[in-house]
Chains A and B, each alone.
Chain A
């Protein structure tokens, strides 16, 4: 079974704090993703990575950065948390999607972040 774990289920931070969200997968997947999920908006892609030390911006990268130093670990960093970053954050991983191949994503349980 693929397992994707996230460091916290619930997190409360103050405005201006630096926040680290950690994600680890145990299936040797090349691709890893960070989404946020808000009511009525669905999942929106923040960043993704297709290899160690590689990263690509998604649809809403502003205010976020990422780090992928090891294949199994993908970190999302909120440089200076703001109240509009209160959301559910979901990490996902998948096998490498080569030309003509698309693989499903496996999701972690999510981190509900509240910024006060």
Chain B
């Protein structure tokens, strides 16, 4: 069974730029959730994707967007980067239709915005 993977591991961007982060879900999982974890804080829910559509969204502006592909992998896109976007971005997969609360997390992508 393959676990959740994320790429890249680390990323440095400049304010105003755009970034794409990637996530491959665990084998057999069809739902992906994205979280932002700022330093010293708990993860904050950004949004969830199921069947290639957004299926719930936290309190994040529209410049945070995502995609889910037919193989259930997912992308998180952030436009017009701001300094406060510097954080660890976590992806978690789960199985809607099974236990949707059983989330498995990836190792995260550390984004630094300068």
Partners in one complex: no
| B contact residues vs A (CB 8 Å cutoff) | none
